[in-house]
Structure 1
Amino acid sequence: MTGVSARILRPDELPARDRGAGARTVPLVTSARGATSFLNGVTSFEPGAAIAHHVHNVAESVVVLQGAAVVDIDGTRTPLRAFDTTFVPAGIPHHFENASAGEPMTIFWTYAGIEATRTLVASGERGRIEAEQPDGAEPVDIVRESARITVKPGRENAFEDAVAAAATLFQRAHGARTFVLERSHEHPLSYRLTVGWESVDDHLSGFRGSPDFARWRALIGDSIEGLPEVEHFEHVLTAF
Structure 2
Amino acid sequence: MILEVAILNVPSGMENEFEAAFAKASPIIASMKGYISHELHRCIEAPNRYLLLVRWQTLEDHTTGFRGSPQYDQWKQLLHHFYDPFPTVEHFEGVLQYHCSE
TM over 0.5: yes
Q: Distance in 1 between matches of 2:80 and 2:94?
A: 30
Between the aligned partners of 2:54 and 2:96, the Cα distance in structure 1 is 19
What CA distance in whole angstroms lies between the structure 2 residues aligned with 1:212 and 1:176? 13
Distance (whole Å) between structure 1 residues aligned to residue 12 and residue 45 of structure 2: 15
Mapped contact 1:158–1:223 kept (Cα < 8 A): no
CA drift at 1:229? 1.5
Q: So what's the TM-score if we normalise by structure 2?
A: 0.91
**Which of 1 and 2 has higher RCO (CA within 8 Å, sep 6+)?**
2
Give distance in 1, aligned partners of 2:34 and 2:90: 17
1:153 has 2:32 as partner: no
1:162 to 16, 21, 44: 21
CA RMSD of aligned residues (A): 1.0
In the alignment, the residues of structure 2 paired with residue 204 and residue 165 of structure 1 have an alpha-carbon distance, to the nearest angstrom, of: 21
Partner of 1:184: 43
Structure with higher strand content: 1
> Match of 1:211?
70
In 1, the alpha carbon distance for the partners of 2:87 and 2:33 equals 21
Structure 1 contact 156–223 (Cα < 8 Å) conserved: no
Tell me, in whole angstroms, the C-alpha distance in 2 between the residues paired with 1:220 and 1:205. Answer: 19
Offset at residue 214 of structure 1 (A): 1.3
Amino acid at match of 1:188: P
Using the alignment, how far apart are the partners of 2:93 and 2:10 within structure 1?
Answer: 27
Looking at structure 2, the residues matched to 230 and 171 of structure 1 have their Cα atoms a distance apart, in angstroms, of: 18
d(CA) in 1 for partners of 2:92, 2:37: 14
Question: Max radius of gyration: which structure?
Answer: 1
4+ residue segments displaced more than 3 Å: none
CA deviation profile, 1:110-144 (whole Å, cap 9, x unmatched): xxxxxxxxxxxxxxxxxxxxxxxxxxxxxxxx211
Q: Which segments of 5 or more consecutive residues in structure 1 lack a partner in the other structure?
A: 1-141
TM-aligned CA deviation for residue 179 of structure 1: 1.1
**Could you state the TM-score of these two structures normalised by the residue count of structure 1?**
0.40
User: Are positions 1:235 and 2:94 aligned together?
Assistant: yes
Question: Which residue among 45, 58, 69 is the counterpart of 1:199?
Answer: 58
**1:1-240 residue pairs with structure 2 within 5 A?**
142-240=1-99
> What percent identity do the matched residue pairs reach?
38
Deviation at 1:177, TM superposition (A): 0.5
Structure with the largest fraction of helix: 2
- Secondary structure (helix, strand or coil) at the match of 1:186 reads coil
Which amino acid is 2:88 matched to? E
- Alignment check: 8 A CA contact 1:143 1:233 kept: yes
**Tell me, which stretches of 5 or more residues in structure 2 are unaligned?**
none
CA distance in 2, matches of 1:201, 1:221: 21
Q: What is the CA-CA distance between 1:175 and the residue it aligns to?
A: 0.2
